[in-house]
Amino acid sequence: MKYHPSNVSRISTDVLVLGGGLAGYRAAVAAREKGAAVTIAFFARGASPYIIGCNSPIAHADDRDTPEMFFEDMVRGGYGLNDRRLVEVMSTGAIDAQRELSAIGVVFPTENNRIMQRHLSGNTYPRSLFIPEGTGRVVLEHLTAHAEKIGVQTVAGLKVIDFLNDGGDLVGALLWDRREQKFLAITARAVVLAMGGIGRIYSDSTYPADIGSDSYGLALKHGARLIDMEFVQFEPVVTVWPEACLGMEMPTAMLGDGAHLINAKGERFMLRYNPGHGEKQIEKAKMALCVQTEIDEGRGLPDDTVIFDTTVLPAERLESYKTHVRRLRNAGVDPLTTPPRVRPASHSQMGGVLIDETGWTGVPGLFAGGESAGGVHGASRLAGNGCADTLVFGALAGRGAAHGLLPMASRKWDAVIGASLEGIQTSERGKTRADVAELKQDIRETMLRSAGLWRHEAGLAAGRERLRDIARSASEIKTEGIEEAIEARELGHMLVTAQVIVEAALLRTESRGAHQRRDYPNQDDAQWLKHIGFRTDGKGSFFREDIPIQ
């Protein structure tokens, strides 16, 4: 059965924001405040509610902190690969973001009339804002309420399955409404892409289930460039035990506050890798490698973990991590007396869609912000900068979109929507949902095996071959029902994103930040101080296009 544009409901807006995390909401509010009619559409809440710490160099905890120092930390932490234009914007924009959030009623805890800030790994000074009840969740609640108050329209619970593209102009999106079992087209004069990162593309992952590489798959398909995709950050300390907390990221801020990492021999092993500082003043990517090395070299516990020793923290400090302490206690483990066990898991993507200082992607009508966009973090992201990125570049993309509205044109909407529906068809003897899920799982296992924390040519080449096999199986998919057809779209986005990561990782014959090659252990600035980029060839494949550092 084929789907026809005449059965698709339509609504229209000036700016369509895709994604309901912090980047999406900051974009929606910023575009609305510029006078645009704004609709925000999303499936669920993404990674944003899980945010604990958010960098802003407001210098309340240490008055030596400055935007210039923040800039230097980012470039050092990103191994020089950062887009300096974006780093500049973020180093001051993060201060504005705190003021803007306070202005809409977000309350950050204070001590002696100064906002409290935590010291996160890789940052020279304590500059991470936090809210004990859950930073991301509370900020998102305030932004959502504010957006509603100023007239942003909301379309929640729907899946974006394609952009609407009129001869290269990005003019909206096609969404699937599972509850109503129907499609909705939202036509727009500008689109902000804020659909988050790679999602569960690796079998060990901290991402929530609503993120599925769609940002990158769709951006690539519609002419945007993806850069720095080889840099996947593995969170160093993700809970394995207690089992009820599996996948819960332990805050590196706790390590900054004095918690220790201990191996099976009882050693505080980080002192060996980072003399004088131990678990402090080391960026997450490096810490993940250290933890993985302990495990690989047999100094981990029998379940391939190390101990995250919370018991050495002063009780008052520990209790300030309310969410984590509550979750551990609910699982029957009191972190005051019994420490959890952890190991690395894939966590965030440093790369993404290439943008300029206005959040524009180079595609008419398409802007991007937050984890969808790339460039600011370089080869490794400072702890606390995922959040700062969403707040700064979300707002930037929203303002950019409101300024960059495409002219109202009489468009042939049936043809535009029809193109997005192309390929969505069901057949009686198609694949079942389980078949599609199996291919997704194959991608996840392939990625962990071939493009995990430590990489080498043979492993990456084997991964590339396996992904080609999966692509062949995916191309033969004829789906039985509409839900399978939607999942097959997601599978396509996951697959192309995985392929781009593996290609870039094979090309980059050096080690830098979150990309570590056992066969090329050194950083090679002469050859590789540049972004590896990819762009579509318009025929379903992609080609390499490197971008110099700006």
Ligand X SMILES: Cc1cc2nc3c(=O)[nH]c(=O)nc-3n(C[C@H](O)[C@H](O)[C@H](O)COP(=O)(O)OP(=O)(O)OC[C@H]3O[C@@H](n4cnc5c(N)ncnc54)[C@H](O)[C@@H]3O)c2cc1C
User: What residue ranges bind ligand X (CB under 6 A)?
Assistant: 19-24, 42-48, 50-54, 159-160, 194-196, 206-207, 210-212, 214, 249, 347-348, 370-372, 384-387, 390
Residue 472 CB, nearest approach to ligand X (Å): 24
Comparison of 212 and 375: residue with beta carbon closer to ligand X? 212
Comparison of 200 and 508: residue with beta carbon closer to ligand X? 200
309 and 291 in contact (C-beta within 8 Å)?
A: no
Comparison of 212 and 492: residue with beta carbon closer to ligand X? 212
Comparison of 14 and 371: residue with beta carbon closer to ligand X? 371
Residue 158 CB, nearest approach to ligand X (Å): 6
In angstroms, rounded to a whole number, what is the distance separating the alpha carbons of residues 13 and 402?
11
Residue 279 CB, nearest approach to ligand X (Å): 16
Comparison of 159 and 517: residue with beta carbon closer to ligand X? 159
In angstroms, rounded to a whole number, what is the distance separating the alpha carbons of residues 351 and 82?
10
In angstroms, rounded to a whole number, what is the distance separating the alpha carbons of residues 292 and 283?
15
Q: Nearest CA to 374 among 153, 111, 87?
A: 87
Residue 49 CB, nearest approach to ligand X (Å): 8
Amino acid letter, residue 103: A
Comparison of 129 and 460: residue with beta carbon closer to ligand X? 129
Report helix, strand or coil for 482.
helix
Is beta strand 454-455 parallel, antiparallel or unpaired with respect to 516-517? parallel
Comparison of 19 and 236: residue with beta carbon closer to ligand X? 19
Residue 410 CB, nearest approach to ligand X (Å): 28
Residue 265 CB, nearest approach to ligand X (Å): 29
Q: Which residue stretches of 214-260 are H helix?
A: 214-221, 252-257
Tokens of 451: 């493009």
Comparison of 73 and 510: residue with beta carbon closer to ligand X? 73
Residue 470 CB, nearest approach to ligand X (Å): 20
Comparison of 211 and 416: residue with beta carbon closer to ligand X? 211
Tokens 């992904």, residue?
Answer: 467
CB atoms < 10 A from the CB of 71, how many? 18
Residue 154 CB, nearest approach to ligand X (Å): 11
Comparison of 193 and 506: residue with beta carbon closer to ligand X? 193
44 and 210 in contact (C-beta within 8 Å)?
A: yes
Tokens of 364: 């008419």
Residue 6 CB, nearest approach to ligand X (Å): 23
**In a 10 Å sphere around its CB, with 0-12 CB exposed, 13-18 middle and 19+ buried, how is residue 456 labelled?**
middle
Comparison of 70 and 520: residue with beta carbon closer to ligand X? 70
Residue 377 CB, nearest approach to ligand X (Å): 10
Q: Measured between alpha carbons, how far is residue 21 from residues 44, 131, 171, 365 in Å?
A: 8, 17, 22, 21
In angstroms, rounded to a whole number, what is the distance separating the alpha carbons of residues 363 and 371?
18
185 and 172 in contact (C-beta within 8 Å)?
A: yes
Amino acid letter, residue 379: A
In angstroms, rounded to a whole number, what is the distance separating the alpha carbons of residues 157 and 150?
21
Here the contacts of 6-9 (C-beta below 8 Å, separation 24 or greater) are 6/414, 7/182, 7/183, 8/174, 8/182, 8/183, 8/184, 8/185, 8/417, 8/421, 9/182, 9/183, 9/184, 9/185
Comparison of 142 and 268: residue with beta carbon closer to ligand X? 142
In angstroms, rounded to a whole number, what is the distance separating the alpha carbons of residues 248 and 233?
16
Residue 466 CB, nearest approach to ligand X (Å): 25
Comparison of 3 and 50: residue with beta carbon closer to ligand X? 50
Residue 492 CB, nearest approach to ligand X (Å): 12
**In a 10 Å sphere around its CB, with 0-12 CB exposed, 13-18 middle and 19+ buried, how is residue 142 labelled?**
middle
11 and 38 in contact (C-beta within 8 Å)?
A: no
- Residues contacting 366, CB < 8 A, separation 6+: 163, 170, 190, 191, 193, 219, 222, 224, 360
Longest dimension (CA), the chain: 71
Could you check whether the bond before residue 242 is cis, i.e. omega within 30 degrees of 0? yes
Comparison of 224 and 506: residue with beta carbon closer to ligand X? 224
Tokens of 252: 């590196």
Q: Nearest CA to 547 among 72, 81, 78, 192?
A: 81
Residue 251 CB, nearest approach to ligand X (Å): 7
In angstroms, rounded to a whole number, what is the distance separating the alpha carbons of residues 324 and 56?
23
Tokens 């959890």, residue?
Answer: 340
Residue 19 CB, nearest approach to ligand X (Å): 3
